Structure 1
Amino acid sequence: MPGTRSGALPRALRRAGLALLLLVTALSLARAPVSRAAEPNAADQGPGQPDGTVAHCFDGDTLKLRDRRVVRLAGIDAPELGRGQTQPQYYAREAKAELERLATGRQVALLAAGVNDHDRHGRLVAELRLADGRSLNELMVASGAAFFYPHRDLGPEFQERLRDLQAQAIHERRGLWAHLLSLPLARETYVGNRASLRFFPVNCPEARHIKPRNRIHFGTLMDAFLAGYAPARICVFWPEAR
């Protein structure tokens, strides 16, 4: 073509072809379905409930906010205070007092700790963080006022933190561990259920129903807790308050 430098036309065609290819690719990606592997995990969604102020502590693991919401601290359990003719368990009063000291009148952020944010009793289940960023769930376990309570619905990283804090509290005999692990019951054997992550006294009738593939034996009470198992709510061995 007169007046056109040699090679200019092929280069222009190549640039036009590249632009067309990029446009087609972008349109294809826009129409493509989102991969489920790229979707965020429910346990990582962040806070699903508004902040609140703690009004009352029922015991060492459950409290009420001023807006009347009842919250169960995820991943932990504390000794029971008892009802009616049932005597309080050892360290139940101390656990409640510790949670009251840490939380009463304080504003807390409610963070999602797992898949479900309510339990079967209708209570919120969450990790509660104070204004300074500290986790009430972690503080209760670290002080030995409560123990780790594993659950399949909870995030694995959150559970690992609680389990590590419990191990430290056990080794340093903080809170309830000093007396509990000195009792004769601490030297007895226990049987755990891998499916539920709960353990029972070896003579508990319920333990006989554990399937062989799920059965695990612990030589001492401390072994069961360090393995990340929690006491079953049947065949309770926990001592009464002193």
Structure 2
Amino acid sequence: MDLPFFGHRPGRAHRLILACLLAALLGGALCLPPLSARAEAAETDSATVTPPPAASLSRPDLEPLRTVGTATVASCLDGDTLTLTSRRTVRLAGIDTPEMKGRTGKPQYYARESRNLLREAARGQTVRLFQAGEKTQDRYGRIVADVQLHDGRSLSAFMLEQGAAYFYPHTDLTPAYQDWLRSLQARAIHERRGMWAWLLAQPFALQSYTGNKRSLRFFPADSREAQSIKPRNRIHFGTLMDAFLAGYAPARNASPWPEADAQ
């Protein structure tokens, strides 16, 4: 069938050219996916620009603590410290939680929730203690260990996953163990679990912070403590979340953590 071409009937040569053009156009159309599929592909491509929440690394192998082994939890003092029926006090390795008595003597934000969560999970339970680093005691005489429930769950990991604790780096802990805990914290932060939802939505979370590369602690950028850090040991964080994701923990003497009644 002859097709109109700019208002007059084309000749044989024109028809051949037009046929080739139509074949090329139709062939290209057949090679393209439907519009909806292309839109989905475009959305997928754009989504990959932002990295997904960090997945937890493989759980490191730890040696049982020779001095204690199996024990029973008597009580939980806060979200990272518990006592055994043997009257020994145990500090959960690699984490820290809001203080029940902050700098003003009042509970910090999420301190009660953190303590209650640990109490519900561990009180009265038989646990096993594993060595997470070189030292098994801190300067206060408390046992420092990875405490595991009878089903093998690590209480340090559990508290991080629930957004009830933050990663607390220390040179005595093994690197693999610290990397594992840090990855669990990153996932909780990205998913805004527990305390992270409210905390990271506050104005102070958008302020700048300065970290100390030696201690792996951070301070408000305008604080006296931040200014006293030697320049070669300083690292700048644009937001509070940046500091936590980098594996730094808030310094006790200049913590940005609010009190419980600030919520």
Do residues 142 (structure 1) and 161 (structure 2) align? yes
- Across the aligned residues of Structure 1 and Structure 2, the Cα RMSD in angstroms comes to 1.5
Q: Residue 244 of structure 2: which of 225, 233, 242 is its match?
A: 225
The answer to whether the Cα contact below 8 Å between 2:237 and 2:243 also exists between their aligned partners in 1 is yes
SS of the aligned residue for 1:108 comes to: strand
Residue equivalent to 1:103 = 122
Do residues 241 (structure 1) and 257 (structure 2) align? no
Do residues 204 (structure 1) and 223 (structure 2) align? yes
Paired residue type of 1:47 = L
Runs of 4+ residues deviating >3 angstroms:
43-46
Residue equivalent to 1:21 = none
What is the deviation of 1:166? 0.3
What is the deviation of 1:214? 1.1
CA distance in 1, matches of 2:103, 2:258: 17
Please, what TM-score do these two structures have when normalized by structure 1?
Answer: 0.80
In the TM superposition, what are the counterparts of 1:61-80 in structure 2 within 5 Å? 61-80=80-99
Q: Residue 181 of structure 2: which of 162, 165, 178 is its match?
A: 162
Greater Rg over alpha carbons, structure: 2
Tell me the alpha carbon deviations over residues 158-191 of structure 1, each in whole angstroms, 9 at most, x when there is no partner. 1111100000000000000000000000000000
Please, what TM-score do these two structures have when normalized by structure 2?
Answer: 0.74
CA distance in 1, matches of 2:175, 2:232: 23
Do residues 195 (structure 1) and 211 (structure 2) align? no
| Percent identical | 58
What is the deviation of 1:235? 1.6
- Structure 1 unaligned segments of length 5 or more: list them: 1-42
CA distance in 2, matches of 1:201, 1:104: 36
CA distance in 2, matches of 1:117, 1:214: 28
Paired residue type of 1:193 = N
Number of aligned positions between the proteins: 200
What is the deviation of 1:90? 0.2
Do residues 125 (structure 1) and 152 (structure 2) align? no
The answer to whether the Cα contact below 8 Å between 2:207 and 2:239 also exists between their aligned partners in 1 is yes
What is the deviation of 1:203? 1.3
CA distance in 1, matches of 2:102, 2:92: 21
CA distance in 1, matches of 2:125, 2:62: 25
Do residues 47 (structure 1) and 65 (structure 2) align? yes
CA distance in 2, matches of 1:62, 1:128: 11
What is the deviation of 1:236? 2.1
SS of the aligned residue for 1:234 comes to: helix
